[in-house]
Structure 1
């Protein structure tokens, strides 16, 4: 529970940081706005063609008596659009980070400088090298997300469970991988490869979910992703400092004791940053 609350706090601290540094907030809006326009066009196109896709994917229902073909295809179209929407939420951060590599890298660095300094073992790479690594890492993360997303899509057809438990699991999966994408900016700076990032967040699932799930829900609000993206990058930088043991104890709520970082973490300074999982 402590990690879950800490994740929410990092998200809030990131939003507060950019709001109190207005120049960096505006700096981070541009790539997110461009990405939103591209995604809105794609989702609108999917909504327009969803019925045709449902008919194409269910030819076996052509001979069914009414109203079953229409009911099946309606459910299929809705689940397809919702599934793609959740996938879009996960990939939105990845695409925005690729589009705004220079913007978000600089923003993340400024956050770390203000919160204790950049890591001593910071890895310097060319822009094209960073873009290539970011693209490969995003494809890897998207593939892992699909391993969960595809089964959840088909489980969505189950009565009751498909309309209650499955959506909740979908938000958790989306939140976890969204956190992984956003944390990649600060982790790549430390030379931590994508498999190690995944293992680090698996070890602190509650922290990742506390940060990512509220963000997924907020990203579903039209246009909200554009305004939340700079703060999400800032909050992820703070979260990474916690994960690698550089951030100190997480500030506690009034009346609580500070939450110390887990003892013996193998990811702090001197730990195996680049060891693949």
Structure 2
């Protein structure tokens, strides 16, 4: 529980750092805004077609009374939207980190320099950050589907699907978001996705503490544009916290 609270606190500290440095905030907003525009179109289309999709998913309810049919399909629609939103949030972070690689590498460098914790490795070229970000982001999105799809299906269960499942969905999304948010700090030290996941697993509550406010606040329309740079700086701080616990040499 202490690590979870620390993760939330580091998210808040990231906000404080950006408030004191508006230039870094603007740098972080640019790629988040571009990614938001790309995904917004998809979410608008989902909302527009949500009733039809819920009906396609529940053909067994066609002969039910209007009250039960509406209730079941409403629950399915909520579960479907929640699952897609979770995937979109993870994809949003992956795309933002990939597209904004040079921007976020600059932010990470500035924050780590201020903390006196800059890595000794040379600065990575932007094309390598882009390649790693796209590759690892795709892997994380695919891995997240292993959890979000079963949760999406569980969302069809009355009561449980509208109470326990949304909480689990937030926690799962928070974990995968945290893996993305710490990515640049690990890339700067030559550490790959496997190393990042293994190390962060030792402080899972810390990671989820960072990812939870990011997940919840990003669900507010357009808030993710501001939340993402804040969460990214929080990710730099979480990376610093976890990296201090290991002296394992980096591997290619």
Question: Which TM-score applies when normalising by structure 1?
Answer: 0.85
Pick closer, same or farther for the CA change 1:165–1:123 going to 2, 3 Å.
farther
* Range 148-157 or range 49-58, more displaced: 49-58
**Structure label with greater radius of gyration:** 1
- Measured in 1, the distance between the counterparts of 2:64 and 2:156 equals 19
User: What displacement does 1:205 show?
Assistant: 1.1
SS of residue in 2 equivalent to 1:274 = coil
- Measured in 1, the distance between the counterparts of 2:85 and 2:110 equals 32
Structure 2 residue runs without a partner (length 5+): none
Once the two structures are superposed, residues 195-223 of structure 1 have per-residue CA deviations (whole angstroms, 9 ceiling, x without a partner) of 12112122111101111111111111222
Once the two structures are superposed, residues 131-177 of structure 1 have per-residue CA deviations (whole angstroms, 9 ceiling, x without a partner) of 11111100111111111101111111222222111111111001111
User: What displacement does 1:10 show?
Assistant: 1.1
User: What displacement does 1:127 show?
Assistant: 2.2
Kept after mapping to 1: 8 A contact 2:94/2:138:
no
User: 1:18 maps to what in 2?
Assistant: 18
Q: Which runs of 4+ in 1 moved over 6 A?
A: none
User: 2:27 maps to what in 1?
Assistant: 27
* Range 11-20 or range 69-78, more displaced: 69-78
User: 1:154 maps to what in 2?
Assistant: 153
CA RMSD of aligned residues (A): 1.7
User: 1:252 maps to what in 2?
Assistant: none
- Measured in 2, the distance between the counterparts of 1:135 and 1:186 equals 16
User: 1:274 maps to what in 2?
Assistant: 251
Structure 1 residue runs without a partner (length 5+): 246-264
User: 1:215 maps to what in 2?
Assistant: 214
User: What displacement does 1:70 show?
Assistant: 4.2
Pick closer, same or farther for the CA change 1:32–1:211 going to 2, 3 Å.
same
Pick closer, same or farther for the CA change 1:41–1:25 going to 2, 3 Å.
same
User: 2:193 maps to what in 1?
Assistant: 194
User: What displacement does 1:45 show?
Assistant: 0.6
- Measured in 2, the distance between the counterparts of 1:79 and 1:162 equals 7
* Range 22-31 or range 74-83, more displaced: 74-83
User: 1:239 maps to what in 2?
Assistant: 238
- Measured in 2, the distance between the counterparts of 1:74 and 1:221 equals 21
Kept after mapping to 2: 8 A contact 1:123/1:191:
no
* Range 168-177 or range 215-224, more displaced: 215-224
Question: Which TM-score applies when normalising by structure 2?
Answer: 0.93
* Range 122-131 or range 20-29, more displaced: 122-131
User: 2:129 maps to what in 1?
Assistant: 130
User: 2:84 maps to what in 1?
Assistant: 84
- Measured in 2, the distance between the counterparts of 1:134 and 1:99 equals 8
- Measured in 2, the distance between the counterparts of 1:168 and 1:59 equals 27
Kept after mapping to 1: 8 A contact 2:99/2:130:
no
* Range 105-114 or range 218-227, more displaced: 218-227
Kept after mapping to 1: 8 A contact 2:214/2:228:
no
What number of residue pairs does the alignment pair up? 251
User: What displacement does 1:34 show?
Assistant: 1.6
- Measured in 1, the distance between the counterparts of 2:201 and 2:146 equals 16
Pick closer, same or farther for the CA change 1:123–1:137 going to 2, 3 Å.
farther
